[in-house]
Amino acid sequence: MATGKKKTTKPQAARRDPRERFVSLANSRVTAAIHQIRLVGNLANKKNYQYDADEAAKIVRALQRELDELKSKFKGEEKNASTIFSL
C-alpha cells in the first residue's frame, strides 16, 4: 500500500494559458453561434414557414438584445440578464 502524496493533474484546458483558451473557445463558440443564427434565418423562408411580421420582429429583437449584451460584456459593462425566448 502506497502512502505517498497523490499527484493531481489539471485538465488539459486548465493547463493552457488564458490567451490560448480564449482563442480556442472563441473560434468554436463564434462558429457555432453563426451557424445557429443562420438556422434561425432559414425560418424566414415563406415557402416553408408561416409567420407574421410581429413574430419576425420579436425574433430579431431578441437576437439584437443578446448582441447588445455581448457588446456590453466586452466593454466591461456586464449585466447578466437571463432571457428565455418564446413567441
The string of pLDDT tens digits covering residues 25-77 is 999 999 999 999 999 999 999 999 999 999 999 999 999 999 999 999 999 98
> pTM value?
0.74
More confident site: 67 or 83: 67
Q: Give per-residue burial for 39-66: e unless 16+ CB within 10 Å, then b.
A: eeeeeeeeeeeeeeeeeeeebeebeeee
Q: What angle do CA 35, 41, 47 make, to 5 degrees?
A: 130
CA distance 26 to 37: 16
CA distance 25 to 71: 17
Whether 1 shows a pLDDT value over 60: the answer reads: no
Q: Is 80 helix (H, G, I), strand (E, B) or coil?
A: coil
Among 5-14, 18-27, 31-40, where is mean pLDDT lowest? 5-14
Whether 4 shows a pLDDT value over 70: the answer reads: no
